[in-house]
Amino acid sequence: MQELCSLNLEELKTWIAEQGEKPFRAAQVFDWVYQKGAESFADMTNLAKDFRTKLSESLSFPSLKLVRQIDSEDGETTKFLWQLADQKLVESVLIRSHDRRTVCVSCQVGCPARCAFCASGKEGLLRNLTPAEIVEQVLHIDRQLKKIGERVCHIVFMGMGEPMENYDAVLKAVSLFNDPAAFQISQRRITISTVGVVEGIKRLSKEDLHVNLVLSLHAPNQHLRKKIIPYARKYPLEEILLAMDEYGKETKRDITYEYTLLAGINDRMEHADELATLLKGKQCTVNLIPYNPVDGLHLKRPEADTIVAFKEALVEAGINTTWRYTKGKDIAAACGQLALQKL
């Protein structure tokens, strides 16, 4: 059975025409799903009953079931736990910042990268998510926000999984997030994060898209990076940076390099100096992320003065640098804390 939210408008028109129905019905279905907040085919009351029955027998909707929703104490972060049709679970996060409403989505159950500081990859990769399973994370959250006069306006692929290892599904989801008939979210408000899958980065640079691309760097050299990100053994840092440069050149978009600071591992001044040398002359931003604790991982967050000194060293070297304010740590919704769960 096909998933409704894996189909774009043209694909749905084609499917509906094959059922002997008028193609304009596709726009009605899209309106019910993405604008009116229908929770099932039964809600689509301006469609004939026999057509609704045909839809429900051939297309699955919804694909996700909300299991749990937790709000942070400051009210700025909400974590959602979703159950998939095969009973597996994934998480996503709503982040509120002034008038911005950002959803951090997952694209895989688990993660193949197994970064040393991250909970998502502790048990490896179980499977890819379908486009519908990605899209519906945003759909359900957007539906909640619309009830209070708000809407999702930014998407970041920074939840569970490596987006470049589920490339086709991620790109299909991006097209639906951007579609005027669906979410109407500008490509420039969509961010894809990768640990550095070179062929995926190169492929993305040829897509005629303008999404933001973020590299999970976390080390200033290949030797240290392989210790923090085992996946880095597949791709030399030099090749990754060349691919990132190509993406920036093709899309005219600045590149962001994320750097999780781990006490005593990659936070020394020599690392800051090496990082500044590595990125000198590049049109980029370094986003410093102090480590967020994960159960079972014996790593520590650097002291504040260490973080400040690291940032100042980069700024003095001419590197545009930000220090990410941690949100959602009290509900394990911060960067690196989304984990595989079982019912």
Over 80: is that where the pLDDT of 120 sits? no
Given 91, 133, 165, 258, the catalytic residue: 91
- One domain for residues 295 and 228: yes
Q: What percent of the chain has pLDDT over 70?
A: 94
Q: Which residues contact 101 (CB under 8 A, 6 or more apart)?
A: 94, 95, 145, 150, 151, 152, 153, 154
> Do residues 153 and 203 share a domain?
yes
CATH at residue 241: 3.20.20.70
**What distance in Å separates the CA atoms of residue 220 and residue 155, rounded to the nearest whole number?**
28
- Residue 97 maps to a domain: yes
Task: Establish if 272 belongs to a structural domain.
Answer: yes
Residue 168 belongs to what domain range? 65-331
Does 18 participate in catalysis according to the annotation? Answer: no
Burial (0-12, 13-18, 19+ Cβ within 10 Å), 82: buried
Q: What is the pLDDT of residues 219-250, one digit of tens each?
A: 999 999 999 998 899 999 999 999 999 999 99
pLDDT-above-90 percentage for the chain: 84
Residues 102 and 133 in one domain: yes
Dump the DSSP string for 4-52.
GGG--HHHHHHHHHHTTS-TTHHHHHHIIIIIS--SSGGG-TTS-HHHH
Residue at 336 is within a domain? no
Instruction: Judge whether residue 194 has pLDDT over 80.
Output: yes
Report the C-alpha gap between 237 and 185 in whole angstroms: 32
Whether residue 67 contacts residue 83, with contact meaning beta carbons closer than 8 Å, is answered with yes
pLDDT the model gives residue 1 = 87
Residue labelled with tokens 């991006």: 174
Q: Which of 162, 154, 254, 168 is nearest to 203 (CA)?
A: 168
Selection from 255, 234, 229, 233 nearest residue 244 by Cα: 255
**Res 64: pLDDT:** 96
Give yes or no for residue 332 having a pLDDT over 70. no
The pLDDT value recorded for residue 292 is 84
Please indicate whether residue 91 is annotated as part of the active site.
yes
Task: Specify the range with the lowest mean pLDDT, choosing from 28-32, 212-216, 329-333.
Answer: 329-333
Residue 342 lies in a domain: no
- Residue 341 located in a structural domain: no
Q: In this model, does residue 188 exceed pLDDT 80? A: yes
Average pLDDT over residues 272-298: 91
What is the spatial distance between Cα 92 and Cα 255, in angstroms, rounded to a whole number?
A: 24
- pLDDT of the residue at 68: 95
Q: Tell whether 141 and 31 lie within a shared domain.
A: no
Burial of 256 by CB count in 10 Å (0-12 exposed, 13-18 middle, 19+ buried)? buried
Residue 43 near residue 50, CB atoms below 8 Å: no
The predicted pLDDT at position 296 comes to 73
Mean pLDDT along residues 123-134: 94
Q: Which of 37, 60, 83 is the last residue of a domain?
A: 60
What is the structure's pLDDT at 190?
98
The answer to whether residues 34 and 80 belong to one domain is: no
- Residue 69 identity: Q
Q: What is the CATH number of the domain that holds 36?
A: 1.10.150.530
Six token digits for residue 102:
């950002």
Residues 305, 288 within the same domain: yes
Q: Where are the beta strands (DSSP E) in 205-314?
A: 212-216, 255-261, 284-290
Whole-number pLDDT of residue 293: 80
Rounded CA-CA distance 117/112 in Å is 14
Same domain, 294 and 176: yes
Confidence at 178, pLDDT banded by 50, 70, 90: very high
pLDDT of residue 340: 58
Q: What is the pLDDT of residue 93?
A: 96
Residue 121: the pLDDT is 66
Is position 232 within any domain?
Answer: yes
User: Mean pLDDT across the stretch 123-150?
Assistant: 96
128 and 247 assigned to the same domain: yes
Number of domains in the chain: 2
Residue 259 lies in a domain: yes
Q: Is the pLDDT of residue 331 over 70?
A: no
Q: Return all residues near 298 (Cβ < 8 A) that are at least 6 apart.
A: none
pLDDT at 198 > cutoff 90: yes
Choose one of 45, 60, 75: the last residue of a domain. Answer: 60
According to DSSP, the residues that pair with 320 across neighbouring strands are 285
Residue 237 falls inside a structural domain: yes
pLDDT band at residue 335 under the 50/70/90 scheme: low
pLDDT for the residue 343 = 53
Residue 123 pLDDT exceeds 80: no
Q: Are residues 223 and 163 in the same domain?
A: yes
CA angle 113, 79, 300 (to 5 degrees): 55
* Residue range 61-105, pLDDT digits in tens: 999 999 999 999 988 999 999 999 999 999 999 999 999 999 999
| pLDDT above 70: residue 109 | yes
CB count within 10 Å of CB 322 equals: 12
Tokens of 277: 């040398």
Which pairs with CB-CB distance under 8 Å and at least 24 residues apart come from 107-110? Answer: 107/134, 107/157, 107/159, 107/160, 107/161, 107/162, 107/163, 107/166, 107/169, 107/170, 107/173, 108/160, 108/161, 108/162, 108/165, 108/166, 109/84, 109/160, 109/161, 109/340, 110/160, 110/161, 110/340
Do 167 and 34 fall within a single domain?
no
- The DSSP code for 159 is S
| Banded model confidence at residue 298, pLDDT cuts 50, 70, 90 | confident
The mean of the pLDDT values for the chain is 92
94 and 143 both lie in a single domain? yes
Both 46 and 141 in one domain: the answer is no
